[in-house]
Chains A and B, each alone.
Chain A
Amino acid sequence: MTGLLNVLVGVVMGLNLVALAGGRLPLLIRTVAVQGVLLGLMPLILEHESPDWKLAAVAVATVAGKGLLIPSLLLRALRVARIDREVEPLLGFVPSLLLGALGTLAAVVLTEFLPLRAEHAATLLVPGALASVLTGFILLAGRVKALSQVCGYLVLENGIYLFGLLLLGSTPLLVESGILLDVTVGVFVIGIIVDRIQRTFDSLDTRRLTVLRE
């Protein structure tokens, strides 16, 4: 099943690049949603030999949270706040894509040098995690609108989730749900901030936040 897992992680890495190259917000949000669904499936594949109800709960919660709830909230915000659908990159699409590709390559190379256990070294989980974290950072740093930054934050969190999968056997359910809760709270907080920014500045352009500095 390592083969299937690697394919899934490969798709996640590909989606990272799609997220970087996408020029419209709904596309970005849906990319992140698909990524979430894939991540939700991964625990089932990893532990397919000894399935139990806790694992199933984690998978269902992840798919529901990352794949359905959060994206639908974001799409609703897009609609309700009447946000322009353009992504408005601070860093152009081509440079973002190049950086992302380079980062993915670097993640693969770097993993060679990391002191990993044999069963982890066989999978793409670690390079996938590193690449996602990096992509999340590029999205956070390279996009103007607060909603695209929410997406960057989600991608970053997905990378951390991938790391967490390495420890699936030894991590208690509590930690899993803690991570998920973290993501949800983060998204809600950003949602509230987005609302405030929208009301105060009549725009979601985070560049306008510079007036808030002392």
Chain B
Amino acid sequence: MVAGLALGGLGLLGGALAARHPRGWLAATLTGQGALGLTALAVLGGGGSWADPGAGAWSSPCGHLRLDVLSAFFLLLVAGVGGAATVYAREYWSEREHPVSAVAGRVWWNLFLAAMGLVLLAAHGIVLLVGWELFALSGYFLITLNRTPRAVRSAGWLYLAASHAGTLCLFGFFAALAARTGSWALGPLHDRPELAPLFWLALLGFGLKAGLFPLHVWLPSAHANAPSHVSAMLSGVALKMGIYGLVRFSGWLPTPPAAGWVVAGLGGVSAVLGVAFALGQHDLKRLLAYHSVENIGIILMGLGFGLLAAAHGPAGWGPLALAGGLLHVWNHGLFKALLFLGAGSVLHATGTREMSRLGGLWTRMPWTTALFALGAAAISGLPPLNGFVSEWLVYLGLFDAAAARGPAAALAIPTAILLAITGALALACFVKVCGVVFLGAARTPAAERAHECGPAMRGAMLALAAACVAIGLGAAGLWPVLARVVAAWNPAWPPGETPASLKALTAAHVVVALAAVAAAAGLARKLRRAGVRRAVTWDCGYAAPSPRMQYTAASFAGILTEWFAWILHPHRHEEKPEGVLPRRARWSVHTPETVLEEVIEPVGRGFLWAAAQVRKLQHGRVQAYVLYLLLGVAALAVLALWSWTG
């Protein structure tokens, strides 16, 4: 165990030192991540004793580091997705294309991975805070690797500001915890009910990192403007550090009674509004970023119902909902990384993220198209892929909660409806993405000249896609792992048998997958036999179709974004056709960063204004300073007199 972690750390360190030599960097970093991943696997396996969630856990002699089932669960995600993204980065952010930042990018990358590992291993408040700060700072430098565009710099600043607001909350959280327990050591503290209110600080601090609505303001611009392998890591893995913090400390510390309700409620809001905002986006990566908000919402639904079940005594649905949320952590990490890497290869090939400038890429980029479509199907929660498995577990928990008729039933039914709405909207959104970006005809010369990405990028995406399929088809096999993590979270829920519905789902998935393969093979044979005749799309009556006559990203989602106009506040620019023979007409719609522009920025401006007013007090006139002194003394005198008479 120690050897694995040490090798992991050394690999990441060695990779950072060898950043000037791409091959050496790749080999060392992958070795380190492999070692970390294997260590995590060993802990998750627990030496074969599935029933004991404590088996296989490791603690450093000083007690500042600890690797238990829950940390290992997240560490495996870091190592797995991190490994794939590392291979991708080798080709995507190479010296040839980014001579200035390629080496720096590799150093920050390794630091980023190592810091996340440290956060996951920490069992000491200060160690965790140090790891957290390193993780946030290296994230900032990764986002701003290409500093030339103004948008990248401002996205970086926004990320840094939000990150530090969160860190401030965490400083408060750990300091208050240490003050009340008398030690910085972290561990289970269930017998101290007075610690429960600290949960709200943790929710704010970790929630800012996780990007739940409405704390997501930094997320879209940071994910959209970062290099794509960094976006994949940020969205797939870094957000999960916030989730890790929430799961970890809601498991270790007592929680206030309202925690489950609030977390589940925030999850529902994040899920639906995240996908609603995603529908309004025209920027491919910004759209994917909003889907992160949505998926974090689904994870929080699971966690929220886990908390509710833990608070309301023995409930069979608690483990199901929590296991669903946790599995969604892995799943979202896998398919969101796959989608961002796919978006990266589109960006790499065409130089634009604007969906209305793409189109028809599938003929030139068949691998990217196929893998992106697989990721899209997975994130939309379509069987037989992994997204459906975790959402299914959450659904099972919700339905059981509703059937149990406890106090949580009142929330379970609306949450299930919200989850269903989210799934439907996500599907619509990814139909839009795939349709506009990959199908149809190319809208610009850049899209026409697109080329397929190289083997390293393709290989990384293939690995992630394979993991998505594997989880979808082998869901029942994962249950023991999930059950152990759930049992580590709440010792009152010992690992039980695999639920029958999960077994049935796995079998159904295999059948559906086989049927899909058979149908695809049959269709391909039929196509080959019948021969393909190529013609212009819509070649029925109109002789001069142009690529502009396709659905755009805005028009495809028009109806859906209208439903959510009450919160999206879209900016519409309209010039209606007039007269019998209209000459000119245009229509465009753009969804702003509503929460940022209409809430955070006005508040920030007010704050800056107030600060500027206070600043006027410092003008350099000595006489007035003496007056301040006099007023201060007078105020003190009044205070003293008042307290003396009162």
Contacts and interface: CB of A to CB of B under 8 A. Distances in A.
B623 A142 contact: yes
Interface string B606-641: 000000000000111111101101100000000001
A87 to B, nearest CB: 13
A134 to B, nearest CB: 8
Contact of B626 (A140, A210, A212): A140
Nearest to A115: B644
A90 B623 contact: yes
A143 interface: yes
A131 to B, nearest CB: 14
B622 A209 contact: yes
A206 interface: yes
B641 A141 contact: no
Contacts of A140: 623, 626
A207 B623 CA distance: 9
Contact of B630 (A90, A141, A212): A141
Q: Is the interface of B mostly helix, strand, loop or mixed?
A: helix
A115 to B, nearest CB: 8
B626 A213 contact: no
Nearest to A142: B623
A159 to B, nearest CB: 12
A212 B623 contact: no
Interface in A186-214: 206-207, 209-213
Contacts of B630: 137, 141
Contacts of B619: 210, 213
A115 B644 CA distance: 10
A141 B624 CA distance: 6
B620 A213 contact: yes
A149 B629 CA distance: 15
Contact of A212 (B620, B629, B644): B620
Contacts of B627: 137, 141
Interface residues of A, number: 17
A113 interface: yes
A210 B621 contact: yes
B620 A141 contact: no
Contacts of B620: 209-213
Interface string A118-146: 00000000000000000001001111100
A207 B621 contact: yes
Contact of A141 (B618, B623, B644): B623
The winner among A90, A141, A206 for most chain B CB atoms within 10 A is: A141
A90 B629 CA distance: 17
Contacts of B622: 149, 206, 209
Given A113-B641, A213-B618, A206 B623 contact: yes
Nearest to A134: B630
A212 B624 CA distance: 15
Contacts of A113: 641
A209 B624 CA distance: 12
B26 to A, nearest CB: 49
A90 B530 CA distance: 100
Contacts of B618: 213
Nearest to B621: A210
Given A141-B623, A210-B619, 10 more contacts: A90-B623, A137-B627, A137-B630, A141-B624, A141-B627, A143-B623, A149-B622, A206-B623, A213-B619, A213-B620
Interface of A: 90, 113, 115, 137, 140-144, 149, 206-207, 209-213
Interface of B: 618-624, 626-627, 629-630, 641, 644
16 contacts: A113-B641, A137-B630, A141-B626, A141-B630, A144-B623, A149-B622, A206-B621, A206-B622, A209-B620, A209-B622, A210-B619, A210-B621, A211-B620, A213-B618, A213-B619, A213-B620
